[in-house]
């Protein structure tokens, strides 16, 4: 079974402060991890994936297999970062070549001016 | 150009009714999905189809029946609607079904059962 846990439902920070959105996962195989974001009145969209190791909009996330974590970080939060963030894990469906994308519960980030 | 489009955007209906939500993608993707987002914003997969073939059926009541007439369309039909079916339903698509490629989402359909 694959599971994604985001322990914080709500996270509030002030503009310019560092922000870290926590994500832990459970999966027996080699996971692919993603962060998706949903801004107000917009559709859910991919923010970044661990395999690309890139920084998007100042956000980075490092896969830590020892701690089974994939926390999302940004050193200086901006007001436009306020959104719902979902951590997601892609795991192979046993006996097939298909995968399943499982989402965490989501974290609502609010960045105050 | 809207990549993944769902209709309707809002749906209010009475208990016991049957309703359908339509989804179309113009990205040429092979795989399409339905997700349910409940009142606590928890996003859970319901179904996935790859080239019109059902791949994932995630213990969803059989009142829910997906239909994929072609790989660009995945419709969701719900029979005998219940209060607990009230949620936002998201359609999504991806290039292939391994789960390792980006999923593109529709804008969601907010279903309210009264």
B33 part of contact set with chain A, CB < 8 Å:
yes
Domain that residue A94 falls in: 3-112
Q: Shortest Cα distance from B19 to chain A (angstroms)?
A: 23
**CATH number where A108 lies:** 2.60.40.10
Structural domain total, chain A: 1
Q: Looking at the partner chain, which of B42, B99, B105 has a beta carbon nearest the beta carbon of A100?
A: B99
Nearest to A31 by CA among A103, A91, A104, A99: A91
pLDDT digits (tens, 9 = 90+) for A23-74: 999 998 888 899 999 999 889 999 999 877 788 899 999 899 999 999 999 9
Domain that residue B44 falls in: 4-113
Q: Distance (Å, rounded) from C-alpha A40 to C-alpha A100? A: 26
**CATH number where B73 lies:** 2.60.40.10
Q: Are B73 and B33 in contact (CB under 8 A)?
A: no
Structural domain total, chain B: 1
The average pLDDT across A84-90 equals 95
Considering chain A, what percentage of its residues have pLDDT values greater than 70?
100
Residue to test with chain A: of B43, B49, B105, most A Cβ within 10 A: B43
Q: How many CB atoms lie within 10 A of CB A8?
A: 15
Q: Looking at the partner chain, which of B4, B35, B99 has a beta carbon nearest the beta carbon of A32?
A: B99
CB contact under 8 A, A98 and B48: yes
């Amino acid at each position: 079974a694959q599971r994604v846990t985001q322990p914080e439902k709500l996270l509030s920070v002030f503009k310019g402060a560092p922000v870290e959105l926590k994500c832990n996962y459970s999966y027996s195989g080699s996971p692919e991890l993603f962060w998706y974001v949903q801004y107000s009145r917009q559709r859910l969209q991919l923010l970044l994936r661990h395999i690309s190791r890139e920084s998007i909009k100042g956000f980075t996330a490092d896969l830590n297999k020892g701690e089974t974590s994939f926390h999302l970080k940004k050193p200086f939060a901006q007001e436009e970062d306020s959104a719902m963030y979902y951590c997601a894990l892609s795991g192979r469906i046993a006996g097939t070549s298909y995968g399943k994308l499982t989402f965490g519960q989501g974290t609502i980030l609010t960045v105050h001016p | 150009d809207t990549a993944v489009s769902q209709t309707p955007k809002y749906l209010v209906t009475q208990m016991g009714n049957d309703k359908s939500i339509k989804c179309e993608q113009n990205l040429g993707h092979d795989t399409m999905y339905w997700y349910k987002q409940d009142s606590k914003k928890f996003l859970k997969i319901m179904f996935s189809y790859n080239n019109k073939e059902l791949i994932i059926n995630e213990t969803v009541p059989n009142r829910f029946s997906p239909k994929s007439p072609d790989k660009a369309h995945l419709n969701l039909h719900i029979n005998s609607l219940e209060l607990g079916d009230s949620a936002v339903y998201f359609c999504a698509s991806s290039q292939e079904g391994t789960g390792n490629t980006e999923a593109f989402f529709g804008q969601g359909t907010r279903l309210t059962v009264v």
